[in-house]
């Protein structure tokens, strides 16, 4: 079976671990538990007739307390940049990580996840942010690890991107 390494990148508290939990185990916890180091999970998805095992590298959040080690990125077929849609400042770290990832492993496909879409009263994703993604041809999706909105389809989409990238 084809195996694809997918990294979860973003600052702390944006919901990387919760997205993985929702996707792999279809569960969600309201309690915030910080990730120290790396946690690997896997799940098989099907793209057409092709079964793919996604190995999800849930990396610690990058912030003033910890940096993400670039050695963890080696061999990644694709990555998610996770942004908390209720905290637009979290985009800054995502873009820093994006630049570092490209410098380390090159032009690997990625998807921006605007997470916590269930917090509709707090939602602060601006048109300016969306226009910036459009103008760069970046794919951005709204997700909610709490409700599950957009989560399965985002992982399915990244599996497709990882597979297409390998074939091309």
Give the residue, chosen from 2, 28, 43, 55, that forms a contact with another protein under the rule CB under 8 A.
Answer: 55
Q: Which is nearer to another protein, 128 or 139 (CB)?
A: 128
What does the alpha-carbon distance between residue 125 and residue 91 come to, in Å, rounded to a whole number? Answer: 10
CB 84 within 8 A of CB 115: yes
Stretch that binds another protein, among 30-38, 106-114, 142-150, 159-167 (CB under 8 A): 30-38
Burial class (CB in 10 A: 0-12, 13-18, 19+), 155: buried
Give the residue, chosen from 30, 64, 107, 135, that forms a contact with another protein under the rule CB under 8 A.
Answer: 64
Q: Which is nearer to another protein, 36 or 167 (CB)?
A: 36
Give the residue, chosen from 92, 120, 134, 153, that forms a contact with another protein under the rule CB under 8 A.
Answer: 92
Mapping DSSP to helix (H, G, I), strand (E, B) and coil, where does residue 106 land? coil
Taking 3-state DSSP, the helix, strand and coil percentages for the chain, each rounded to the nearest 5, stand at 35, 25, 40
What does the alpha-carbon distance between residue 152 and residue 23 come to, in Å, rounded to a whole number? Answer: 6
Least distance (Å) between residue 153 CB and another protein: 25
Contact residues for another protein (CB under 8 A)?
Answer: 11-13, 32-42, 55, 61, 63-66, 69, 71-72, 74-75, 87, 89, 92-93, 96, 122
């Amino acid at each position: 079976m084809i195996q694809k390494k997918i990294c979860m990148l973003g600052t702390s508290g944006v919901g990387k671990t919760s997205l993985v939990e929702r996707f792999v185990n279809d569960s969600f916890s309201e309690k915030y538990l910080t990730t120290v180091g790396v946690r690997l999970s896997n799940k098989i998805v099907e793209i057409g007739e092709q079964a793919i095992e996604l190995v999800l590298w849930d990396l610690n959040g990058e912030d003033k307390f910890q940096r993400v080690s670039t050695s963890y990125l080696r061999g990644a077929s694709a990555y998610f940049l996770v942004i908390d849609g209720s905290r637009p400042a979290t985009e800054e770290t995502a873009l820093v990580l994006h630049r570092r990832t490209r410098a380390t492993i090159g032009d690997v496909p990625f998807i921006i996840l605007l997470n916590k879409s269930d917090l509709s009263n707090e939602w602060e994703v601006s048109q300016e942010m969306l226009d910036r993604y459009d103008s760069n041809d970046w794919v951005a999706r709204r997700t909610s690890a709490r409700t599950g909105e957009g989560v399965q389809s985002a992982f399915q989409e990244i599996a497709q991107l990882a597979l297409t990238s390998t074939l091309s």
